[in-house]
Amino acid sequence: MSEVKLSMEDNWEGNSQSMFDRMIQEVPEALRDIFRGKLMDILKQKAKGGAYKESHIVEIVNEIVPEPFKSNILKAFSTIGGVDVSAVGKIIEQFPGGQESLMPLLHAVQAQYGYVPEEALRVVSQKKGVFMSTLYRLASSYQAFRTEEPKKYLVSICDGTGCHVNGSGELLKKLEEKSAGIDSQITLEKVRCLGCCDLSPAVKVNGEVYGGSDAQAKISEILGE
């Protein structure tokens, strides 16, 4: 039986694709292609031409998977977050090739979600044939990648020489104190340059750059001053 390709044409609903991929992980690697095809056939029968639902995946696990694999999978399902990974397949198509494509691919994933979700890494692992350990090492070793979902405010503050002498050091100190709180809504990143030295001190909040007095005002707004 030829391998069934998971693509954007498949109508995955909610976390169903992440759940399907997690189910496949319990299959020995040498047999995954065969079982992926068979399980996709069963899933399509249950969907009856409609969307692939989370309930369909759970039914397959309960009906087909033996213990202890069944319990392992159902427990793993409970930890899957509310990340819709339907866009990951299309991102992967934009970066063909082997491991040399992983870095730009992960950057694109982070641009899509604001961080690199574990659910997305599972899809990349399946489609690229790369071990999860390799992907985790890449995502966790480079400062450019975030593996946790940013909070309400994702703040990047430049602490390069030009910005530092114009007040970024004081802004950084205030943000560090605020972001350390248990109930903080700030994800803080200290960077060397934001590419706009003429706007010092420069900060980027949720993707938008502020400089000078505007930066000061935006940080005061975030801090509730």
- How do residues 191-219 score in pLDDT, each as one tens digit? 888 888 888 888 888 888 888 888 888 88
Is 8's pLDDT higher than 50? no
Q: How many residues does the chain have?
A: 225
Tell me the domain boundaries of the chain.
16-141, 153-223
- How do residues 155-186 score in pLDDT, each as one tens digit? 888 888 888 888 888 888 888 887 776 567 88
Q: How far is CA 48 from CA 11, 53, 57, 128, in A?
A: 12, 11, 14, 29
Higher pLDDT, 81 or 121: 121
What letter represents residue 38's amino acid? Answer: K
Between β-strands 186-191 and 153-158, what pairing exists: parallel, antiparallel or unpaired? parallel
Q: Given 2.60.40.10, 2.40.280.10, 3.30.750.24, 3.40.30.10, which CATH number is that of 153-223? A: 3.40.30.10
Is 44's pLDDT higher than 90? yes
Q: Say what the pTM is.
A: 0.47
- How do residues 54-87 score in pLDDT, each as one tens digit? 889 999 999 998 888 888 888 777 666 666 677 8
The label of the residue with tokens 């602490």 reads 159
pLDDT number for residue 104:
94
